[in-house]
Amino acid sequence: MIIDAHRHYWDPTKLDYGWLAQAPAALQRPFLPADMDVTTDACLLVQAAPDERETLFLFDIARQTPGVLGVIGWVDMEASDATQRIAALAAQGQGLLRGIRPMVQDIPDTEWLARPSLDRAFDCLRDHGLVFDALVDNRHLRALSQRLTQHAGLVTVVDHAAKPDIAQREFAAWASAIARVAQVPDVLCKLSGLLTLTGEPADPTAVEPYAAHLFQSFGGERLMWGSDWPVLTTHASYDAWKRCAQTLTRRFAPQHEAAVFGETAAAVYSLAGDAPATALGGS
């Protein structure tokens, strides 16, 4: 079974997705399961609004939609009652909540992840067996490494490979920083969102050196594929990106295609059962 580890459904007629105001016009509309008729792949839904109500909205979709295996939600991790909020969301999800994703890339303070006020929330994620999805770019990787060394056993997944600037062919600083993050125990990375970083038109060949470095840094067993649909649709179809990622995996980690396209996501996010996220050894 192929698992898309990073898919969005959203409805700006019901909730406020502030970032959509600066997004391409084609994305400024509802994208719901009925619009996703090109695949039978299972998926993990990921939050797209800094609002706990959106997490509840995703729970409802998951309950009604075959193939949705779990939800990465949002909670105000700096709230004085953050631990209670995380526990409440986990209870409301009834097993659907698999992780939490603060929208770090949109927070003006690039050192936000290092704030001591977040300590209890990160410990709470670990204690509830929830994954921390890190929506970061190169500006945040130092603070991310610092944060993760404080919470042994917290499983973290870096979204979109920390968004390297592929369009401008910026490589060295990102490559060094992401390799350091890969050395932290229990950190994985999503092979997702890369085609939309190549500029327009999409250039699959530009992704190759970045993918090669990711496979070298994390190994095939700590990477998982995600579509980043519908953001992907501004540059390519779902199937086109999947074929591209499959080609890259066969080239750089030929023994790990099953892991990249489902097994790792199922294990890390506990998508096949009720066990909490499992810490992973090695670098």
> Which residue's structure tokens are 């190169």?
138
One-letter identity of residue 130: L
- Pairing between β-strand 97-100 and β-strand 42-46 as defined by DSSP bridges: unpaired
Whole-angstrom distance, CA of residue 219 vs CA of residue 256: 9
171 within some domain: yes
Q: Mean pLDDT in runs of 10 for the chain (283 residues)?
A: 97 97 97 90 98 98 96 97 98 98 96 96 97 97 94 97 97 97 96 95 96 98 98 96 98 97 97 55 36
125 within some domain: yes
283 within some domain: no
264 within some domain: yes
Spatial CB neighbours of 227, under 8 Å, sequence gap ≥ 6: 4, 6, 7, 43, 192, 238, 241, 242
Q: Would you put residue 236 in left (φ > 0), alpha (ψ -120 to 50) or beta?
A: beta
Whole-angstrom distance, CA of residue 162 vs CA of residue 121: 22
pLDDT at 280: 54
Please report, for the domain that includes residue 239, its CATH number.
Answer: 3.20.20.140
pLDDT at 232: 97
- Give the structural domain span for 131: 3-268
> Which residue's structure tokens are 């990106």?
241
281 within some domain: no
Q: Which residues pair with 229 in a beta bridge?
A: 7
128 within some domain: yes
282 within some domain: no
pLDDT at 39: 81
137 within some domain: yes
Cα dihedral across residues 31, 93, 17, 194: positive or negative = negative
Count up the domains in the chain and report the number: 1
Q: Are the CB atoms for 160 and 194 separated by under 8 Å? A: yes
pLDDT at 10: 98
